[in-house]
Chain A
């Protein structure tokens, strides 16, 4: 017979180890961690918050929790003020605009003290991600609210968001912070059945249930933000930066305005960018009998279904969707025929959003190439134009919804 393997040993220091006391310590420790998490996350701790920079985003292994983002709102916005939450993708996050020239800072300035503007846009997010979830979760605390986000023509407004930001939706759903809205519930049931295995659905549920009780995400986000971060990421790959408290990182967004225009519009990217510009309308339109462009029959129907489920009915009216036009430098290189199609895409998309019950408009028309940093992201000057346009729309929407009067309207 072969030689036996060395067996794992127990704690021979049995006089030293008291199992019941150890288990009591374990239970007490978990309760303590949960209590600390609740204490630190509710009022908000992002003192100098302007936006979610890469180190404060999933790409930096930092996943802001719902409570954390709600805490930012609570710290900034009084109940008598109108809460304006900005969502959407990197365009609305202000990529290419340094913090002091951020378009949402300009928006705040134009709207004045009656409003509080919070930039909750994330790179690569949909209009239903991030800020959208927070706005809905705060609808009772802040009945006077406007949600502003950007979208692409006929871009799919998935009710449950997209990775890597979908976790916020699941968190809000599981904790009962979202409205019970049947069309959205159907979409959620569909995505769970078709895109998640049983084990993955259990893990989503398990994670969120455990987090509701133990609040581990809130606690360790706070530790990582305030004191010591513990996960290297592509954004902070080296030591000691990987361990720095995330609040130490300045908003170091480069300034498109400081770049010469020629550097922003690189010829080697032209073909790829033009394919994208054409793609904004190519898939949605076909030739009509008269030779002109018409929307494919399925497009408005599909879009209407998604838009209906994206936000609850009573929140659609306070949602402003801004369709993002491309840099006129590239749009100007479309043929006349393509230009017609491109214009139709924005016109029809705005119309479909409005038909679905939302406020909608587009921006970028009449902008200059210098208002952009690349094909799609705005420079500070473009941000100022956007801020002006959005400020007018938000003001108008707020008046119509009675936000400007003394008493808060019913949610």
Chain B
């Protein structure tokens, strides 16, 4: 976090905004692929959560 904050301090404001938006977009895309895959795995038979007796 300190690294990110110091990185941000060195960036001009528009660049920091663009980095933030690009990073968030990429994160969203990556998570979408992950969610897509998780939905695929949910449809397959899987082991239950280990604490099934809870």
Contacts and interface: CB of A to CB of B under 8 A. Distances in A.
Interface of A: 12-13, 15-19, 21-30, 32-34, 61, 63, 164, 167, 207, 210-211, 214, 216-217, 219-220, 230-231
A167 to B, nearest CB: 8
B16 A15 contact: yes
Task: Place the interface of chain B in its size category.
Answer: 20 to 34
A12 B45 CA distance: 37
A220 B37 CA distance: 7
B32 A30 contact: yes
A29 to B, nearest CB: 2
A252 B23 CA distance: 46
Secondary structure of the A contact surface, majority rule: helix
A21 B17 CA distance: 11
Contacts of B30: 29
A33 B32 contact: yes
A216 B28 contact: no
Contacts of A16: 4, 8, 19-20, 23-24
Contacts of B40: 216-217, 219-220
Interface of B: 1, 4, 8, 16, 19-21, 23-33, 35-37, 39-45
20 contacts: A13-B1, A15-B8, A16-B8, A16-B23, A17-B23, A21-B20, A22-B28, A25-B27, A26-B35, A27-B32, A28-B29, A33-B32, A61-B44, A63-B43, A63-B44, A164-B45, A207-B42, A214-B39, A220-B37, A230-B37
A16 B24 CA distance: 7
B32 A25 contact: yes
Nearest to A28: B29
Contacts of A12: 1
Nearest to B22: A21
A24 B32 CA distance: 10
Given A29-B29, A230-B37, 16 more contacts: A17-B27, A21-B24, A22-B24, A25-B26, A26-B31, A26-B35, A27-B28, A30-B36, A61-B44, A63-B43, A167-B43, A207-B42, A216-B36, A216-B43, A220-B37, A231-B41
